[in-house]
C-alpha cells in the first residue's frame, strides 16, 4: 500500500466514501481495537492495526503520503513506568513516524495538552526527530473552541500555518457590531447638526435691564395707564431669598 495514509487514534469523520472513491487506502492504528473496527465496516478499504504508538510505528520506510491523528498524541505525555517515560515514548513515536513517511509527506496531529509544558514537550520531540513545523493553537482566547494542532513536514523550509483567531460566527457578530456602531455615530452626528441649525435660526431674547424697564413704563404712561414712579430700585434684580 504505497499510496496510503496513516490515521493514528479513533477518528469519526464522514469523508470515507470520498477517500475510497479516489482509490486511496487507509491504515488505522489504535491501542483499543473496538473504535477502528466500527469505522472499517463503513469504509471497507481500511486495514486495522492494534498497537501502542509509544512503542513506535510498525510500518516500512517511506510507506505513507501523510498522517492524521485526532486526540491521541496527548496520551504519550504520561509515564507508564520507569522504562516507559513520556520523553522516550514520544521519541520512539516521532522517530518511527519520520521513517515511515515519504520525503514529501506532511502530518497533522490534533491533541489536547494538559498545559503548555506538555505542548512544548511534544514539539521538541518532533523537532529532534527531524520534522519542521510546530504547534498551532486555534481560538486561543476561547475555553470551548481552543484546538491544538501539531503541523509537521519533511521539508525543512516548511512554515506552520497561521492560527484561527475567530470563528465564523464571531467574525459575523463583529461585523454587525461595527455596522451598528457606525450607524449610531452617524445618527448622533446628524441629530447634532439639526439641533445646531434650529438654534442658529432663533433670535436671542433681549436682556430686561433697567433701560428696558424705564422704556416700558414710559410707553405705558403714554397710553394713560397708572404706572408706579421711577426710583433707584427700578429694574434692579432681587436677591434669591426664601
pLDDT digits (tens, 9 = 90+) for 145-196: 889 999 999 888 888 888 888 655 555 555 555 554 444 455 556 667 777 7
- Based on DSSP, count helices (H) and strands (E) in the chain, helices before strands: 6, 7
3-state secondary structure of 95: helix
Please state whether beta strands 4-8 and 64-70 pair in parallel, antiparallel, or not at all (unpaired): parallel
> 156 versus 127: which is more confidently predicted?
127
Nearest to 97 by CA among 145, 58, 144, 132: 58
pLDDT value, residue 16: 43
Angle between helix axes 116-129 and 86-100 (nearest 10 degrees) is 40
Most confident of 130-139, 171-180, 225-234: 130-139
152 touches 107 (CB < 8 A): yes
pLDDT above 70: percentage of residues in the chain: 65
CB atoms within 10 A of CB 192: 10
Is residue 95 predicted with pLDDT exceeding 90? Answer: yes
DSSP reduced 3-state for 2: coil
Q: Which position has the higher pLDDT, 61 or 191?
A: 61
Count of residues making up the chain: 242
CA distance 135 to 118: 11
How is residue 17 written as a grid cell? 466514501
Predicted TM-score (pTM) of this structure:
0.56
pLDDT at residue 168, rounded to an integer? 55
The C-alpha cell at 112 is 489536547
Give yes or no for residue 224 having a pLDDT over 50. Answer: yes
Residue 77 has pLDDT above 50, yes or no: yes
The residue whose grid cell reads 506552520 is 160
- Look at residue 97 and tell me whether its pLDDT is greater than 90: yes
Mean pLDDT of the chain: 76
Amino acid at each position: 500500500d504505497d499510496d496510503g495514509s496513516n490515521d493514528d487514534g479513533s477518528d469519526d469523520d464522514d469523508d470515507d466514501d470520498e477517500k475510497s472513491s479516489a482509490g486511496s487506502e487507509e491504515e488505522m492504528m489504535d491501542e483499543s481495537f473496538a473504535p477502528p473496527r466500527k469505522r472499517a465496516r463503513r469504509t471497507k478499504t481500511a486495514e486495522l492495526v492494534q498497537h501502542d504508538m509509544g512503542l513506535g510505528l510498525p510500518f516500512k520506510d517511506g510507506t505513507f503520503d501523510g498522517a492524521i491523528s485526532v486526540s491521541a498524541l496527548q496520551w504519550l505525555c504520561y509515564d507508564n513506568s520507569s522504562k516507559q517515560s513520556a520523553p522516550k515514548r514520544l521519541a520512539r513515536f516521532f522517530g518511527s513516524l519520520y521513517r515511515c513517511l515519504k520525503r514529501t509527506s506532511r502530518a497533522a496531529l490534533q491533541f489536547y495538552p494538559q498545559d503548555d509544558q506538555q505542548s512544548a514537550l511534544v514539539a521538541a520531540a518532533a523537532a529532534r526527530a527531524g520534522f519542521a513545523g510546530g504547534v498551532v493553537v486555534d481560538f486561543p482566547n476561547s475555553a470551548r473552541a481552543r484546538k491544538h494542532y501539531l503541523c509537521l513536514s519533511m521539508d525543512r523550509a516548511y512554515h506552520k500555518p497561521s492560527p484561527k483567531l475567530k470563528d465564523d460566527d464571531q467574525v459575523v457578530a463583529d461585523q454587525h457590531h461595527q455596522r451598528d456602531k457606525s450607524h449610531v455615530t452617524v445618527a448622533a452626528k446628524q441629530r447634532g447638526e439639526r439641533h445646531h441649525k434650529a438654534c442658529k435660526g432663533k433670535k436671542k431674547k433681549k436682556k430686561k435691564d433697567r433701560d428696558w424697564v424705564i422704556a416700558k413704563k414710559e410707553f405705558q404712561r403714554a397710553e394713560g395707564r397708572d404706572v408706579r414712579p421711577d426710583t433707584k430700585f427700578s429694574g434692579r434684580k432681587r436677591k434669591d431669598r426664601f
